[in-house]
């Protein structure tokens, strides 16, 4: 199925490998029943006991979709009601209810977040948050995890999204917010859970989650394997991963943890169908425009994290985390290199391009966080301060294939690439060959001060030094860039009762030229872009905390965006502006004891308010300015409604709607992705030691496009289903 190019994907540098599954034992738990001793009975008397009836009912899980706290809004676990900023938490129960096996599917439950097709050949998870790209703003347990790969949910217990400018906590980027995965860790229990899923398009997946403990050492192992074809012709993927984790109590006040992740995937680079006169071409969604061979997209990810936590006393603690990340991708792109031709000799066709690309990235980060909880002037006070040091290396090569012909938009003839100048290795002339180094040095201080039980203040700042150096092996562009930046944050929280919390906050972030570990000749010497987030919101609890409602009104501004100089099109300057005004609503928890809901909605007005950059419209053929245009891949209205109801202790039914209005796929607003509403459903049967669950996706078989670019659109999944059988002991 895959070309022998895949055998060339591994670099020569040494990488840690996990050779075998760790010997975590699975123990079966029995039921023990204790009876009070009978008094006043001699040894030779007969005792008649009352009948004891045992009912193995399914344990009820309270607040399956509602979270009460988050570690992403500050440097310690904090109640959501105390964080003066919008935070969305997608819990494991919601992920399992929807069979959301990819992180991007889980994140569909987050208001103001949209999934984008990778721009500029970017693959892996590509996300837009409140109108701004969040590609470099992905974290794992609070430490940067910005490699490009498709993140799986097999080893995470929840995904947290902090919205708005947040450089005080995370450094560069963090414009629209950050996405933080929280990995599953040892709990000290002994048990094993497993599942097998089979679905349409020959979807097969199995996962195991096992843990055990012995004295002061606890261990947990998550393993996953997935293999599937696709509703897209000539598409398939195969993925496997292993994530062992260990927790060791060195002393009563000192804990050491080790978390590892290895994930590999083989797939196909596919951006979908062409755009035709500004909308996706009216062709079957399975139509493929690439080549029948050489459809390679391989990734290899290794992440290791060591964390040491020490409590000096009940008020003062420190946590030091060290992260090593290694990310490798090798793939053959297939892109439409221009708009479709509407007239002339090439009418009804579109140009294609192909390139062989290899990127390797290594990260090393060290974070030290102190938390000091001590009353100040008689008032409750939590002081957080610490430092971060990071080193990143990004190596990128690209070689273009030659002789790639045009293809018919409505009747493509798909052939192999033999004789078409396939780029099969990196010998000869390369289009790109760059090595980028980046270093981060930062310190921060953040304080939460409680004036009284009703009023709380949060404020602090962070100072970053971000240096980057680029070595262009083609001799085109060797650059160095150095940025130092203060990033303040402030907020006030009013809590007139335990069920009400109202807040106002301000935060700042910055985007240096080398934010995504690549530099360009026309912007390498520019200062960073600046971003400001203003937000007012409310967080309310109902039914003794079983149901929570949230709302936020915000403005997010980029005040000096990079834009093309009107005097020299080869230079850029900081004279652009972009703004997103919006509000979002959320509801999560139990409406009734057996009725769980997760509802989100976002309204976003994302505009390029000032720009000197122009581009030729794919429909009009006219040169148009970005100024006044709506930001790419930002629907004005979007939301998700998901609900489940337990008919009995054993039977559960649920479903929901995923909705997005029209959105633009290009910067001059001529390419449009139509709005859609996708209806899903689930039915589950639960027992004490096993579950059976059926998920049906896109019940109405709606044709929709989940992401796109100027010249292409990626169709969403058609009507399909999956059956999952899981066990737990």
Q: What is the CATH number of domain 4-10+64-529+540-562+571-728?
A: 2.40.170.20
- Predicted confidence at residue 418, as pLDDT, reads 58
First vs last C-alpha separation in the chain: 38
Strand partners, 162: 87, 178
Which tokens belong to 380? 């409750």
- Predicted confidence at residue 123, as pLDDT, reads 45
Residues of the chain with pLDDT under 50: 1-59, 118-124
> CA-CA distance, 638 to 150, in Å (whole number)?
23
Give the chain's largest Cα–Cα span. 108
- Predicted confidence at residue 481, as pLDDT, reads 87
Count CA atoms within 13 Å of residue 96 on its CB side. Answer: 22
Mind listing the pLDDT tens digit for each residue in 409-449? 999 988 776 556 888 899 999 999 999 999 999 999 999 99
- Predicted confidence at residue 293, as pLDDT, reads 78
- Predicted confidence at residue 41, as pLDDT, reads 41
- Predicted confidence at residue 6, as pLDDT, reads 44
- Predicted confidence at residue 54, as pLDDT, reads 42
- Predicted confidence at residue 38, as pLDDT, reads 38
> CA-CA distance, 530 to 642, in Å (whole number)?
36
- Predicted confidence at residue 3, as pLDDT, reads 44
Chain-centroid distance, C-alpha 346: 40
Where exactly are the structural domains of the chain? 4-10+64-529+540-562+571-728
Check: CB of residue 491 under 8 Å from CB of residue 84: yes
* 93 membership: H or E segment, kind and range: helix 92-97
Which tokens belong to 695? 């998920």
- Predicted confidence at residue 459, as pLDDT, reads 95
């Amino acid at each position: 199925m895959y070309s022998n190019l895949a055998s060339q994907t591994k670099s020569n540098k040494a990488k840690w490998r996990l050779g075998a599954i760790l010997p975590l034992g699975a123990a079966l738990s029995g039921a023990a029943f204790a009876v009070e001793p009978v008094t006043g009975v001699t040894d030779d008397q007969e005792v008649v006991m009352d009948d004891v009836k045992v009912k193995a009912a399914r344990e009820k899980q309270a607040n399956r979709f509602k979270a009460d706290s988050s570690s992403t809004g500050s440097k310690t676990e904090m109640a959501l009601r105390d964080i003066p900023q919008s935070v969305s938490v997608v819990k494991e129960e919601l992920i399992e209810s929807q069979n959301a096996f990819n992180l991007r599917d889980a994140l569909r439950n987050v208001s103001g977040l949209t999934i984008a097709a990778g721009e500029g050949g970017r693959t892996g998870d590509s996300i837009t948050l409140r109108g701004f790209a969040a590609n470099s703003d992905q974290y794992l347990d609070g430490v940067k995890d910005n490699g490009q790969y498709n993140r799986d949910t097999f080893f995470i217990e929840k995904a947290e999204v902090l919205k708005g400018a947040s450089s005080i906590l995370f450094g560069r980027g963090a414009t629209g917010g950050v996405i933080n995965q929280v990995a599953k860790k040892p709990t000290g229990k002994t048990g094993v859970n497993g599942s097998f899923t089979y679905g349409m398009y020959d979807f097969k997946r199995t996962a195991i989650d096992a843990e055990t403990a012995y004295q002061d050492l606890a261990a947990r192992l998550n393993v996953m394997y997935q293999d599937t074809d696709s509703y897209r012709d000539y598409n398939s993927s195969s993925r496997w991963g292993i994530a062992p984790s260990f927790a060791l109590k060195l002393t009563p006040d000192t804990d050491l943890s080790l978390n590892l992740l290895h994930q590999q995937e083989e797939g196909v680079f596919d951006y979908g169908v062409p755009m035709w006169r500004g909308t996706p071409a009216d062709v079957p969604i399975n139509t493929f425009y690439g080549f029948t061979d050489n459809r390679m997209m391989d990734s290899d990810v290794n992440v290791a994290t060591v964390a040491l936590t020490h409590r000096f006393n009940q008020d003062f603690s420190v946590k030091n985390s060290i992260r090593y990340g290694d990310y490798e991708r090798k793939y053959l792109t297939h892109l439409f290199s221009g708009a479709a031709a509407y007239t002339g000799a090439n009418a009804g066709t579109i140009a294609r391009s192909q390139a062989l690309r290899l990127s390797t990235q290594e990260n090393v980060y060290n974070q030290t966080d102190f938390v000091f909880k001590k009353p100040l002037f008689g008032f409750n006070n939590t002081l957080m301060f610490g430092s971060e040091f990071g080193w990143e290396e990004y190596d990128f090569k690209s070689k273009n294939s030659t002789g790639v012909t045009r293809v018919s938009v409505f009747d493509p003839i798909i052939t192999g690439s033999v004789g078409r100048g396939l780029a099969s290795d990196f010998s000869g002339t390369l289009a790109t060959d760059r090595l980028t180094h980046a270093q981060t040095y930062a310190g921060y201080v953040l304080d939460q001060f409680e004036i009284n039980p009703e009023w709380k203040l949060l404020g602090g700042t962070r100072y970053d030094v971000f240096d980057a150096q680029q070595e262009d092996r083609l001799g085109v562009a060797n650059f160095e860039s150095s940025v130092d930046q203060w990033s303040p944050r402030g907020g006030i929280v009013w809590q007139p009762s335990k069920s009400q919390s109202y807040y106002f906050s301000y935060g700042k972030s910055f985007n240096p030229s080398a934010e995504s570990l690549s530099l360009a000749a026309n912007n390498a010497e520019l200062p960073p872009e600046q971003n400001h987030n203003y937000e007012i919101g409310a967080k309310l609890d109902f039914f003794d905390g079983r149901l929570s409602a949230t709302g936020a009104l915000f403005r997010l501004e980029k005040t000096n965006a990079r834009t093309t100089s009107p005097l020299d099109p080869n230079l850029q300057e900081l004279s652009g502006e972009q703004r997103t005004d919006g509000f979002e609503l959320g509801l999560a928890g139990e409406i009734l004891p057996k009725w769980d809901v997760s509802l989100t909605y976002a309204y976003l007005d994302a505009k390029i308010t000032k720009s000197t950059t122009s581009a030729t419209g794919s429909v009009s053929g006219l040169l148009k300015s970005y100024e006044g245009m709506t930001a790419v891949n930002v629907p004005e209205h979007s939301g998700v409604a998901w609900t489940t109801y337990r008919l009995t202790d054993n039977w559960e039914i649920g479903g929901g709607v995923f909705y997005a209005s029209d959105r633009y796929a290009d910067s001059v607003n001529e390419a449009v992705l139509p709005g859609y509403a996708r209806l899903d459903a689930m039915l589950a049967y639960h027992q004490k030691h096993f579950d059976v669950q059926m998920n049906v996706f896109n019940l109405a078989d709606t044709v929709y496009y989940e992401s796109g670019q100027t010249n292409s659109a990626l169709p969403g999944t058609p009507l399909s289903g999956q059956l999952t059988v899981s066990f737990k002991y």
